[in-house]
Structure 1
Amino acid sequence: MATYAIGDIQGCYDELLQLLEQFGFGDDDRLWVAGDLVNRGPKSLETLRFLKSLGKRAKVVLGNHDLHLLAVHYGTTTAKRHDTLNAILQAPDRDELMDWLRSRKLLVYDKALNYCMVHAGIPPHWTLKQARKRAKEVEWVLRSKLACEYFKNMYGNQPDCWQPGLEGWDRLRVITNYLTRMRFCDADGRLDFSAKEGLESQPEGFLPWFRQPREARDLQIIFGHWAALEGRADAEHVYALDTGCVWGNALTAMRLEDKAMFSLPCQGSRQPDGPHGPQQPAVLIPN
């Protein structure tokens, strides 16, 4: 039995199946998915159905695109120009899929493996205990009758820093932003949302969250969200798995037991105006 963690799929269902086949994903193996299951790629509906069919073998955290899909489903926002969500929104099993999706977590932790998985990251000034507790606050609301109100109040960049006295939607919004949207922050955990490219876009006074001194420095953290890193965080105990398949690059997975890395180049056109990936087999990337 092995555990594989995979980066942002974003509807690249064909690549997902090929990658699983290439590294021999078996009936006893487990799959962790670091969020952004859907959107921008061509087969978001098929991706959701497949991951749901894995049952307890799949551990999935929510990404910002997944939360956006839920907000569109519940009518609290409208789809964006480049969204590719129509097949889900018109599917006969739409409600069942959305109930499954909103019951997923924002943070997954396995004590035996000593791995934690989130979509964007864990703010450097939070301990693992704090991160788990605050993730559960959002998870509880998502599964409750307050879910629609949450989606109405989810969007926004403020507050941009955690404060212990935060309450209500401001509190839930900053927790959500840390776990699903964070890239750069300062030493106090103040977020910057203006820079979305690679490390060269680092704003003055800010660092990638994983390069700040971290409370959970001994914890192994898996994250996605940041395709511009191209899978290279270059920080101890931190593993970036979003390698931008939906942008024509690759889909990447890591076997947690031995940190073996696998990558499958994009198999065709993806995001509008994006590049075309060559037909190539998955490769094992040396450690």
Structure 2
Amino acid sequence: MAVYAVGDIQGCYIELQQMLEQIRFDPAQDRLWLVGDLVNRGPGSLQVLRLVRSLGDSAITVLGNHDLHLLAVAEGAAELHRTDTLDEILAAPDRDELLAWLRQQRLVHAEGDYMLVHAGLLPQWSVKQAASLAREVEDALRGPDYATFLARMYGNTPHAWDDDLAGYKRLRVIVNAFTRMRICTLQGEMEFRFKGEVEHIPEGYLPWFEVPDRKSRKATVIFGHWSALGLKVMPNVIALDTGCLWGGPMTAIRLEDRQLFQVSCKNPVAQNW
């Protein structure tokens, strides 16, 4: 059995198909780990959801910010943005089944020495604590009052973790760290406007994974979300968002030997919004 982790897909269905062909993915034996953002901005979000769902237990996906945005829009908790490409999903005959399946997906996946997450982990969080906090959000998403959670999910504050946080403020910080964070201070204070390259990070901030003595450093964290960061393969960090949507390749890595696989983008979006 081989485990392949794949970077952000964002509706790039053709490239995902080609990647599965290149790695000769066998759902009966292999496993696919997806870093989230299955949908949006690309042209084939509906097809991506259908394909990943059809793979059943052979595919594990964590939720990204665009996946949560789709769920919020579907519940009337958020409005479509000009650049969204979610209409086909929202109008699909199997819309309800796909959205119900998406709500059941996790925020993080921890297995062996690896942790899969869309954006990152706050430096104060161990792998064990991160998994526990993720379950709090997953329970809210899967519960009967999930529409209220989605409506209260948005916002940049609080911008740092506090063990005493409660209610929707607590859940919001957890969601923002797992699905939106790129940089933070040494104390774990998050900043969400920055999307650029490392050399342009604002003073006082650094990539979340470079915070000294972060509590998750003994695990290898696999993540995406930060296309300007690009591919980064380190002993305890694997960043896989290589910007397929914007004209870069789609990237996968086989975890057993860290062999890389890439598929060229076929129809890049004109610009990085």
Q: Do they fold alike, i.e. is TM over 0.5? A: yes
The amino acid that maps onto 2:11 is: G
Write the distance in 2 (CA, Å) between the matches of 1:247 and 1:34.
17
The amino acid that maps onto 1:76 is: A
**How much identity, in percent, do the aligned residues show?**
52
Deviations 1:161-186 (Å, cap 9, x if unpaired)?
A: 00111011100000000000000101
The amino acid that maps onto 1:222 is: I
Q: What residue in structure 1 maps to residue 252 of structure 2?
A: 253
Q: What residue in structure 2 maps to residue 39 of structure 1?
A: 40
Could you say what secondary structure the match of 1:26 adopts?
coil
Alignment check: 8 A CA contact 1:106 1:139 kept: yes
The Cα shift of 1:216 comes to 1.5
Alignment of 1:124-143 (within 5 A): 124-143=123-142
The Cα shift of 1:232 comes to 2.5
The Cα shift of 1:194 comes to 2.4
Deviations 1:129-159 (Å, cap 9, x if unpaired)?
A: 1100100000000000121111111111000
Moved over 6 A (4+): none
Write the distance in 1 (CA, Å) between the matches of 2:100 and 2:150.
14
Q: Note if 1:265 corresponds to 2:264.
A: yes
The amino acid that maps onto 2:246 is: W
Write the distance in 2 (CA, Å) between the matches of 1:102 and 1:41.
21
Q: What residue in structure 2 maps to residue 95 of structure 1?
A: 96
Write the distance in 1 (CA, Å) between the matches of 2:271 and 2:78.
26
Would you say how many aligned residue pairs link Structure 1 and Structure 2? Answer: 270
Alignment check: 8 A CA contact 1:248 1:274 kept: no
Write the distance in 2 (CA, Å) between the matches of 1:165 and 1:243.
37
Deviations 1:10-61 (Å, cap 9, x if unpaired)?
A: 0000000101101211231110000000000000000000000000001000
Q: What residue in structure 1 maps to residue 31 of structure 2?
A: 30
Q: What residue in structure 2 maps to residue 283 of structure 1?
A: none
The alignment's C-alpha RMSD in Å is 1.1
Write the distance in 2 (CA, Å) between the matches of 1:96 and 1:196.
33
Q: What residue in structure 1 maps to residue 12 of structure 2?
A: 12
| TM-score, normalised relative to structure 2 | 0.97
Alignment check: 8 A CA contact 1:182 1:193 kept: yes
Write the distance in 1 (CA, Å) between the matches of 2:50 and 2:251.
20
The amino acid that maps onto 2:183 is: F
Q: What residue in structure 1 maps to residue 82 of structure 2?
A: 81
Q: Note if 1:200 corresponds to 2:186.
A: no
| TM-score, normalised relative to structure 1 | 0.92
Write the distance in 1 (CA, Å) between the matches of 2:88 and 2:193.
31
